[in-house]
Amino acid sequence: MSATLPQIPAVLDLAGTAVFALTGALLAAQMRQTFVTMAFFALVTGVGGGSVRDLLIGAPVFWVRDPWVAPVCLATALIAWFTPRKWWEGKLLDYADAAGLAAYAVLGTAKALAFGVAPVAAVLMGVITGCVGGVIRDVLAGRPSIIIRPEIYVTAAALASALCAGAAVLELPRELGWTLAALAGFTLRAGAIHFGLALPAYRRETN
């Protein structure tokens, strides 16, 4: 089983986790919360999606066995605590988050497939990996979550996950499939950020 599990360089993996954690810490900072709240937001945002995925597919929860993930999340919260919030404002963090979203959607799908999950369910596992940490963060903060906002976020994760699963079904080389899937998801999310794109809302009138 371990030979088929998706692998990315540890530094990049931790960097992606740190970006997700930073979005949670900055939300707590925006709400003027304590450091305890900031650290908690950073942790649940950084590991929430992957934790839910692992529990659903019957895998060991990834960050419990990795000695670096939790310290990186807490260190990210510490950095956010001691730096001005304006340093992190702007679209650069959004684009970094988009890269992490696409990469982790692909990795979540690939891991689910490696554990014998059917392709459609594996796509959902990819979406969960990329998005659920942010959903938990938003629910805890008492604000509308990314699930019910019109911005193209979950859709980008779904695109990356679906292409990853499709490449596996077609038996394409996995490195090629993963790369193309992640690039597609990132391109969609980055385009939405740059052009301000959003999904249309339901507008049908009732009689």
- Banded pLDDT at 2 (limits 50, 70, 90): very low
Q: Is residue 205 part of a domain?
A: no
Check if the beta carbon of residue 17 is closer than 8 Å to that of residue 46.
yes
The yes-or-no verdict on residue 3 having pLDDT over 70 is no
The yes-or-no verdict on residue 119 having pLDDT over 90 is yes
Q: Tally the domains of the chain.
A: 1
Tens digit of each residue's pLDDT (9 = 90 or more) over 150-185:
889 999 999 999 999 999 999 999 889 999 999 999
- Banded pLDDT at 31 (limits 50, 70, 90): very high
Tens digit of each residue's pLDDT (9 = 90 or more) over 6-22:
666 677 788 889 999 99
Q: Is residue 93 part of a domain?
A: yes
pLDDT of 146: 86
Q: Is residue 8 part of a domain?
A: yes
pLDDT of 1: 41
Range of the domain at 47: 2-195
* Separation of alpha carbons 11 and 193, rounded Å: 26
pLDDT of 11: 75
Q: Is residue 157 part of a domain?
A: yes
Q: Is residue 202 part of a domain?
A: no
Nearest one of 112, 130, 129 to 121, comparing CA atoms: 112
The yes-or-no verdict on residue 143 having pLDDT over 60 is yes
Q: Is residue 136 part of a domain?
A: yes
pLDDT of 8: 61
Q: Is residue 68 part of a domain?
A: yes
Nearest one of 118, 1, 136 to 59, comparing CA atoms: 1
Q: Which amino acid, 185?
A: G
Which two structure tokens, joined as six digits, stand for 58? Answer: 């019957």
Tens digit of each residue's pLDDT (9 = 90 or more) over 75-112:
999 999 999 878 887 788 899 899 999 999 999 999 99
Nearest one of 117, 109, 125 to 166, comparing CA atoms: 109
pLDDT of 5: 67
